[in-house]
């Protein structure tokens, strides 16, 4: 089967999860878990979900709930494969508090590396670990990224202005794919500088496939990303619930 852009992106997500998690194959998907980061959906979930028969969805959900409960964990996300029918799955998952979230995968279609803002410094996160971690408002996410920084395939950057750290972004390399880690920044100019740094690295490393994701409802961000040279290439859905 020919690899689609969405399936290529989801392959990077598997690698992203394995930075933190161990995995175990269940009947209808693969469980990714980390006891250290169990409050984060990315570290306590079932992905690559395939359920061909609609009548098997409810039993699969109960089996998954038991598997996690036996380990004193709570499954926080279901991530189906690209071809999985979503409507019957959503109907059953909603009974356990899961809600659908749609994401757009964007592929770089033209190299338009954004110019950096003159009053912002973009620095490697490994060298500025404390400054980088201070950009997180949720301590559990900061702890997870502190662990991720040890992966040589991930290059994270922190934007520092006159008042201190003001944003972050990065580039995650998986095989022949470079994935831009979605930027977090307080101002559009800071975001532009961060994404520009990530894309400059991807260009220097000669990646032909550069992808990123965005919440499909975040129309403002989608518009900005297209200005950076990205084009929408497909969508996928995950089902999350509160920790």
Q: Are residues 85 and 49 in the same domain?
A: yes
Residues 186-198 have a mean pLDDT of 91
Domain presence at residue 207? yes
Check whether 243 has a pLDDT greater than 70: no
Residue 60 resides in a domain:
yes
Q: Give strand ranges (E) for 39-76.
A: 44-49
Domain boundary pick from 41, 69, 101? 101
**pLDDT score of 112:** 78
Task: Tell me which of 73, 101, 129 is where a domain ends.
Answer: 101
- Asked whether the predicted pLDDT for residue 114 surpasses 80, the reply is no
Q: What's the pLDDT score for residue 126?
A: 97
pLDDT at 164 over 60: yes
Enclosing domain of residue 132: 108-237
Is the pLDDT at 166 greater than 80? The verdict is yes
pLDDT exceeds cutoff 70 at 34: yes
On whether residue 242 sits in a domain, the answer given is no
Same domain, 116 and 88: no
Over 60: is that where the pLDDT of 18 sits?
yes
Q: Does pLDDT of 2 surpass 70?
A: no
Which residues does 50 contact at the CB level (< 8 Å), separation at least 6?
28, 29, 80, 81, 84
Which tokens in the block code for residue 27? 């009947």
- Mean pLDDT, the chain, rounded, equals 94
What does the DSSP 8-state code read for residue 34? -
Closest CA to 20 of 42, 46, 49: 42
Cβ proximity of 8 and 177 under 8 Å:
yes
Clarify whether residues 76 and 165 are in a common domain: no
Query: What number is the average pLDDT over the span 202-206?
Result: 96
204 & 117 share domain: yes
Domain boundary among 35, 68, 101: 101
| Same domain (yes/no): 92, 113 | no
| Nearest partner of 28 among 95, 81, 75, judged by Cα | 81
- Is 243 part of a structural domain of the chain? no
**34: which 2 tokens?**
């980390």
Residue 113 sits in a domain whose CATH number is: 3.40.630.30
Report how many domains make up the chain: 2
Question: pLDDT (tens digit, 9 = 90+) per residue, 45-100?
Answer: 999 999 999 999 999 999 999 999 999 999 999 999 999 999 999 999 999 999 99
pLDDT for the residue numbered 1 = 40
The model's pLDDT over 115-128, given as tens digits with 9 standing for 90+, comes to 766 788 999 999 99
pLDDT band of residue 3 (cuts 50, 70, 90) is confident
Same domain, 38 and 151: no
217 and 130 share one domain: yes
- pTM recorded for the entire structure: 0.93
Structure-derived torsion over alpha carbons of residues 135, 138, 140, 141, reported in degrees to the nearest 10: -50
- Long-range pairs of 65-72 with CB within 8 A, sequence gap ≥ 24: 65/96, 67/26, 67/31, 68/31, 68/33, 68/44, 71/33
């Amino acid at each position: 089967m020919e690899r689609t852009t969405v399936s290529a992106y989801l392959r990077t997500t598997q690698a992203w999860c394995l930075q933190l998690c161990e995995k175990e194959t269940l009947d209808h998907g693969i469980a990714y878990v980390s006891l250290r980061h169990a409050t984060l959906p990315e570290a306590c979930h079932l992905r690559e979900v395939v359920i061909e028969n609609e009548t098997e969805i409810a039993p699969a959900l109960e089996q998954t709930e038991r598997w996690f409960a036996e380990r004193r964990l709570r499954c926080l996300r279901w991530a189906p494969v690209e071809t999985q029918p979503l409507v019957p799955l959503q109907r059953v998952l909603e009974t356990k508090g899961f809600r659908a979230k749609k994401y757009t995968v964007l592929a770089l279609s033209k190299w338009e590396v954004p110019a950096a803002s003159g009053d912002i410094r973009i620095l490697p996160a490994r060298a500025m670990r404390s400054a980088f971690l201070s950009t997180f408002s949720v301590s559990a996410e900061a702890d997870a990224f502190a662990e991720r920084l040890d992966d040589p395939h991930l290059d994270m950057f922190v934007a520092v202005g006159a008042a201190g750290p003001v944003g972050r972004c990065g580039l995650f390399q998986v095989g022949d794919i470079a994935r831009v880690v979605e930027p977090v920044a307080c101002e559009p100019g800071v975001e532009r500088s961060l994404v520009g740094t990530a894309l400059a690295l991807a260009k220097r490393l000669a990646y032909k496939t550069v992808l990123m994701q965005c919440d499909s409802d975040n129309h403002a961000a989608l518009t900005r990303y297209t200005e950076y040279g990205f084009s929408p290439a497909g969508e996928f859905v995950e089902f999350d619930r509160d920790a």
